[in-house]
Amino acid sequence: MATKEAQRGRTAYKPLSMSPKEYKAFAKNREPSRSVFRNCVLAFLVGGVICLIGEGVQRFFMAAF
């Protein structure tokens, strides 16, 4: 595992001073929380809006032509 360090316009990597176990704990703390319920509700609503728009387009073309 390494960190970025700028060096004359290039990106070089220097090693981290963490054990794999410490890095895993660090990464877990930095990971954003996920709200499964909120994501499901948003997916349902966005999908419904997309279908509603499609239904409106279909009805428009059926009435116009």
pLDDT (0 to 100) of residue 46: 99
Sequence-distant contacts of 39-46: CB under 8 A, at least 24 apart: none
Residue-range domain boundaries for the chain:
1-31, 35-65
Kindly report, residue by residue over 10-65, the tens digit of the pLDDT.
Answer: 666 777 788 889 999 999 999 988 899 999 999 999 999 999 999 999 999 999 99
pLDDT (0 to 100) of residue 9: 61
Assign 3 a pLDDT band (cuts: 50, 70, 90): low
CA neighbor of 13 nearest in space, from 25, 28, 1: 1
**pLDDT above 90 (res 4):** no
DSSP E strands in 8-61: the ranges are: 10-15
